[in-house]
A and B are shown apart, each in its own frame.
Chain A
Amino acid sequence: MRVAHVALFQLLPLLLLAACSRREAVTSDSGPANGAAPPGIRANAAPPVAKAPAAPAASLDLNTLEAQLRETKAIGLFTKITLKNQVDDLLGQFRKYYQGKAKPTMKDLRRSYDLLMMKVLSLLQDEDQRLATAIVSSREAIWRLLANEKTFATLQG
Protein backbone atom coordinates (compact mmCIF):
# COMPACT_ATOMS: atom_id res chain seq x y z
CA MET A 1 0.00 0.00 0.00
CA ARG A 2 2.83 2.34 0.88
CA VAL A 3 4.50 1.52 -2.43
CA ALA A 4 1.34 2.42 -4.26
CA HIS A 5 1.19 5.66 -2.35
CA VAL A 6 4.70 6.57 -3.40
CA ALA A 7 4.06 5.63 -7.02
CA LEU A 8 0.87 7.58 -6.98
CA PHE A 9 2.59 10.88 -7.09
CA GLN A 10 4.39 10.11 -10.21
CA LEU A 11 0.87 10.21 -11.48
CA LEU A 12 -1.65 12.89 -12.09
CA PRO A 13 0.75 14.11 -14.73
CA LEU A 14 -1.79 16.50 -16.11
CA LEU A 15 -1.80 18.46 -12.94
CA LEU A 16 1.94 18.56 -12.75
CA LEU A 17 2.12 19.59 -16.36
CA ALA A 18 -0.03 22.49 -15.45
CA ALA A 19 2.60 23.70 -13.11
CA CYS A 20 5.27 23.23 -15.79
CA SER A 21 3.36 25.24 -18.30
CA ARG A 22 2.69 27.90 -15.73
CA ARG A 23 6.37 28.15 -14.99
CA GLU A 24 7.05 28.61 -18.72
CA ALA A 25 4.43 31.32 -18.91
CA VAL A 26 6.00 33.15 -16.05
CA THR A 27 9.45 32.81 -17.58
CA SER A 28 8.35 34.17 -20.93
CA ASP A 29 6.70 37.06 -19.19
CA SER A 30 8.89 39.74 -17.73
CA GLY A 31 6.80 39.98 -14.59
CA PRO A 32 7.99 38.56 -11.29
CA ALA A 33 6.95 34.97 -10.64
CA ASN A 34 5.39 35.58 -7.29
CA GLY A 35 3.57 38.69 -8.29
CA ALA A 36 1.92 37.16 -11.32
CA ALA A 37 -1.60 38.10 -12.19
CA PRO A 38 -4.25 35.41 -11.76
CA PRO A 39 -3.54 32.66 -14.30
CA GLY A 40 -6.87 32.87 -16.10
CA ILE A 41 -6.12 36.47 -16.94
CA ARG A 42 -2.59 35.65 -18.04
CA ALA A 43 -3.80 32.90 -20.36
CA ASN A 44 -6.13 35.29 -22.09
CA ALA A 45 -3.45 37.85 -22.89
CA ALA A 46 -4.23 40.72 -20.59
CA PRO A 47 -4.20 44.19 -22.15
CA PRO A 48 -1.00 46.18 -21.68
CA VAL A 49 -2.22 48.40 -18.90
CA ALA A 50 -0.60 49.06 -15.55
CA LYS A 51 0.06 45.83 -13.71
CA ALA A 52 -2.42 44.87 -11.05
CA PRO A 53 -1.18 44.57 -7.50
CA ALA A 54 0.33 41.23 -6.65
CA ALA A 55 -2.38 38.64 -6.19
CA PRO A 56 -2.20 35.94 -3.55
CA ALA A 57 -0.28 32.94 -4.85
CA ALA A 58 -3.14 31.09 -6.51
CA SER A 59 -0.84 29.38 -8.95
CA LEU A 60 1.86 27.03 -7.86
CA ASP A 61 5.21 25.99 -9.17
CA LEU A 62 5.85 22.38 -10.03
CA ASN A 63 7.41 21.36 -6.76
CA THR A 64 4.77 23.01 -4.65
CA LEU A 65 1.94 21.50 -6.63
CA GLU A 66 3.48 18.05 -6.47
CA ALA A 67 3.99 18.40 -2.75
CA GLN A 68 0.42 19.53 -2.21
CA LEU A 69 -0.97 16.66 -4.25
CA ARG A 70 1.16 14.27 -2.26
CA GLU A 71 0.04 15.67 1.03
CA THR A 72 -3.56 16.60 0.46
CA LYS A 73 -5.93 14.72 2.69
CA ALA A 74 -8.90 15.77 0.63
CA ILE A 75 -8.43 12.71 -1.59
CA GLY A 76 -7.97 9.20 -0.24
CA LEU A 77 -5.37 6.79 -1.54
CA PHE A 78 -7.73 4.56 -3.53
CA THR A 79 -9.36 7.63 -5.02
CA LYS A 80 -5.98 8.94 -6.09
CA ILE A 81 -5.16 5.64 -7.75
CA THR A 82 -8.53 5.66 -9.52
CA LEU A 83 -7.85 9.17 -10.77
CA LYS A 84 -4.44 8.08 -11.96
CA ASN A 85 -6.08 5.24 -13.90
CA GLN A 86 -8.44 7.70 -15.53
CA VAL A 87 -5.65 10.16 -16.35
CA ASP A 88 -3.70 7.31 -17.95
CA ASP A 89 -6.77 6.30 -19.94
CA LEU A 90 -7.23 9.83 -21.21
CA LEU A 91 -3.57 10.10 -22.21
CA GLY A 92 -3.98 6.80 -24.02
CA GLN A 93 -6.92 8.22 -25.96
CA PHE A 94 -4.83 11.23 -26.98
CA ARG A 95 -2.02 8.94 -28.05
CA LYS A 96 -4.34 6.92 -30.27
CA TYR A 97 -5.90 10.06 -31.64
CA TYR A 98 -2.53 11.42 -32.74
CA GLN A 99 -1.62 8.04 -34.19
CA GLY A 100 -4.82 8.16 -36.22
CA LYS A 101 -6.08 4.99 -34.57
CA ALA A 102 -8.88 6.34 -32.45
CA LYS A 103 -12.40 7.31 -33.37
CA PRO A 104 -12.87 10.08 -30.81
CA THR A 105 -12.68 13.59 -32.15
CA MET A 106 -10.84 16.40 -30.42
CA LYS A 107 -14.23 17.55 -29.21
CA ASP A 108 -14.77 14.17 -27.55
CA LEU A 109 -11.33 14.38 -25.95
CA ARG A 110 -12.11 17.84 -24.61
CA ARG A 111 -15.31 16.52 -23.10
CA SER A 112 -13.44 13.69 -21.41
CA TYR A 113 -10.81 16.11 -20.17
CA ASP A 114 -13.40 18.48 -18.73
CA LEU A 115 -15.17 15.62 -17.01
CA LEU A 116 -11.95 14.39 -15.44
CA MET A 117 -11.07 17.87 -14.24
CA MET A 118 -14.51 18.22 -12.72
CA LYS A 119 -14.01 14.96 -10.86
CA VAL A 120 -10.69 16.14 -9.46
CA LEU A 121 -12.09 19.50 -8.48
CA SER A 122 -15.18 17.96 -6.90
CA LEU A 123 -12.92 15.93 -4.68
CA LEU A 124 -10.73 18.85 -3.73
CA GLN A 125 -12.93 21.89 -3.54
CA ASP A 126 -14.46 21.35 -0.14
CA GLU A 127 -11.38 20.32 1.75
CA ASP A 128 -8.47 21.77 -0.17
CA GLN A 129 -9.76 24.95 -1.69
CA ARG A 130 -6.31 26.33 -2.34
CA LEU A 131 -5.18 23.38 -4.43
CA ALA A 132 -8.51 23.33 -6.26
CA THR A 133 -8.04 26.99 -7.14
CA ALA A 134 -4.53 26.37 -8.42
CA ILE A 135 -5.77 23.55 -10.62
CA VAL A 136 -8.68 25.59 -11.96
CA SER A 137 -6.26 28.32 -12.92
CA SER A 138 -4.08 25.81 -14.76
CA ARG A 139 -6.87 24.05 -16.56
CA GLU A 140 -6.59 25.75 -19.95
CA ALA A 141 -2.80 25.60 -19.91
CA ILE A 142 -2.94 21.84 -19.45
CA TRP A 143 -5.44 21.51 -22.25
CA ARG A 144 -3.23 23.49 -24.62
CA LEU A 145 -0.38 21.08 -23.95
CA LEU A 146 -2.55 18.07 -24.64
CA ALA A 147 -4.34 19.48 -27.66
CA ASN A 148 -1.11 20.18 -29.52
CA GLU A 149 0.48 17.12 -31.07
CA LYS A 150 4.03 18.45 -30.68
CA THR A 151 3.75 19.39 -27.04
CA PHE A 152 1.91 16.17 -26.32
CA ALA A 153 4.76 14.20 -27.89
CA THR A 154 7.27 15.90 -25.62
CA LEU A 155 5.19 14.87 -22.62
CA GLN A 156 5.34 11.25 -23.68
CA GLY A 157 9.09 11.18 -24.00
Chain B
Amino acid sequence: MHRLTGVLAHALVVAALFALPTSADDDEALKKDLTAVIALHGLPCGKVVAVKVLAESDYNASCEDGNRYHVHLNAEGRVVVEKQK
Protein backbone atom coordinates (compact mmCIF):
# COMPACT_ATOMS: atom_id res chain seq x y z
CA MET B 1 0.00 0.00 0.00
CA HIS B 2 2.77 2.38 0.97
CA ARG B 3 4.62 1.45 -2.19
CA LEU B 4 1.54 2.21 -4.33
CA THR B 5 1.05 5.56 -2.61
CA GLY B 6 4.68 6.40 -3.22
CA VAL B 7 4.39 5.59 -6.91
CA LEU B 8 1.23 7.66 -7.24
CA ALA B 9 2.81 10.61 -5.45
CA HIS B 10 5.83 10.38 -7.70
CA ALA B 11 3.64 10.28 -10.77
CA LEU B 12 1.75 13.37 -9.60
CA VAL B 13 4.94 15.30 -8.99
CA VAL B 14 6.26 14.41 -12.43
CA ALA B 15 2.94 15.36 -14.02
CA ALA B 16 2.96 18.70 -12.20
CA LEU B 17 6.50 19.44 -13.33
CA PHE B 18 5.51 18.90 -16.94
CA ALA B 19 2.24 20.76 -16.62
CA LEU B 20 3.62 23.99 -15.18
CA PRO B 21 5.81 25.05 -18.11
CA THR B 22 3.03 24.20 -20.57
CA SER B 23 0.62 26.45 -18.72
CA ALA B 24 3.15 29.27 -18.66
CA ASP B 25 3.82 28.81 -22.36
CA ASP B 26 0.11 28.93 -23.11
CA ASP B 27 -0.23 32.08 -21.06
CA GLU B 28 2.56 33.80 -22.96
CA ALA B 29 1.13 32.65 -26.28
CA LEU B 30 -2.27 34.07 -25.34
CA LYS B 31 -0.73 37.41 -24.35
CA LYS B 32 1.11 37.54 -27.64
CA ASP B 33 -2.02 36.62 -29.56
CA LEU B 34 -4.08 39.33 -27.86
CA THR B 35 -1.29 41.86 -28.34
CA ALA B 36 -1.44 41.21 -32.09
CA VAL B 37 -5.24 41.35 -32.13
CA ILE B 38 -5.33 44.73 -30.38
CA ALA B 39 -2.65 46.07 -32.73
CA LEU B 40 -4.59 44.81 -35.76
CA HIS B 41 -7.55 46.84 -34.55
CA GLY B 42 -5.30 49.89 -34.47
CA LEU B 43 -5.63 50.41 -30.74
CA PRO B 44 -2.86 51.54 -28.39
CA CYS B 45 -1.46 48.93 -26.07
CA GLY B 46 2.19 48.07 -26.45
CA LYS B 47 2.25 44.57 -25.04
CA VAL B 48 -0.44 42.71 -23.18
CA VAL B 49 0.93 42.05 -19.70
CA ALA B 50 -2.02 40.32 -18.07
CA VAL B 51 -5.04 38.39 -19.25
CA LYS B 52 -8.17 37.44 -17.37
CA VAL B 53 -10.16 34.65 -18.96
CA LEU B 54 -13.86 35.46 -18.65
CA ALA B 55 -15.16 32.57 -20.73
CA GLU B 56 -14.17 30.63 -23.80
CA SER B 57 -12.96 33.13 -26.42
CA ASP B 58 -13.66 35.97 -24.00
CA TYR B 59 -10.84 37.88 -22.29
CA ASN B 60 -9.93 41.02 -20.44
CA ALA B 61 -6.48 42.14 -21.49
CA SER B 62 -4.33 44.62 -19.59
CA CYS B 63 -1.64 46.45 -21.55
CA GLU B 64 1.73 47.71 -20.47
CA ASP B 65 0.62 51.29 -21.25
CA GLY B 66 -2.30 50.99 -18.82
CA ASN B 67 -5.05 50.43 -21.38
CA ARG B 68 -7.46 47.57 -20.79
CA TYR B 69 -9.56 45.85 -23.41
CA HIS B 70 -12.37 43.35 -23.54
CA VAL B 71 -11.53 40.98 -26.40
CA HIS B 72 -14.11 38.44 -27.47
CA LEU B 73 -15.58 36.54 -30.35
CA ASN B 74 -19.11 37.65 -31.18
CA ALA B 75 -21.95 35.58 -32.61
CA GLU B 76 -21.02 36.56 -36.17
CA GLY B 77 -17.54 35.16 -35.73
CA ARG B 78 -15.85 38.53 -35.50
CA VAL B 79 -13.19 39.36 -32.98
CA VAL B 80 -14.36 42.43 -31.07
CA VAL B 81 -12.03 44.65 -29.05
CA GLU B 82 -13.68 47.09 -26.66
CA LYS B 83 -11.79 49.59 -24.57
CA GLN B 84 -12.48 49.31 -20.86
CA LYS B 85 -12.55 52.32 -18.58
A and B assemble together:
yes
Show the binding face of A for B, using Cβ within 8 Å: 1, 4, 7, 75-79, 81-83, 85-86, 119, 123
Contacting residues, chain B, for A82 (C-beta < 8 A): 36-37, 40-41, 79
Show the binding face of B for A, using Cβ within 8 Å: 29-30, 32-34, 36-37, 40-41, 56-57, 71, 73, 77-79
Q: How far is the CB of A40 from chain B (nearest CB, A)?
A: 26
Contacting residues, chain A, for B57 (C-beta < 8 A): 1, 4, 78
How many residue pairs at the A-B interface have CB separations less than 8 Å?
43
A1-B33 contact, Cβ under 8 Å, with A78-B71, A82-B41:
no
The 10 closest A-B pairs by CB, nearest first: A76-B33, A79-B36, A82-B79, A78-B33, A82-B40, A78-B37, A82-B37, A85-B78, A81-B79, A79-B33
Identify A4's interface contact among B34, B40, B77, CB under 8 A. B77
Whether B56 lies near A75 (C-beta < 8 A) is no
A123-B73 contact, Cβ under 8 Å, with A76-B29, A78-B79:
no
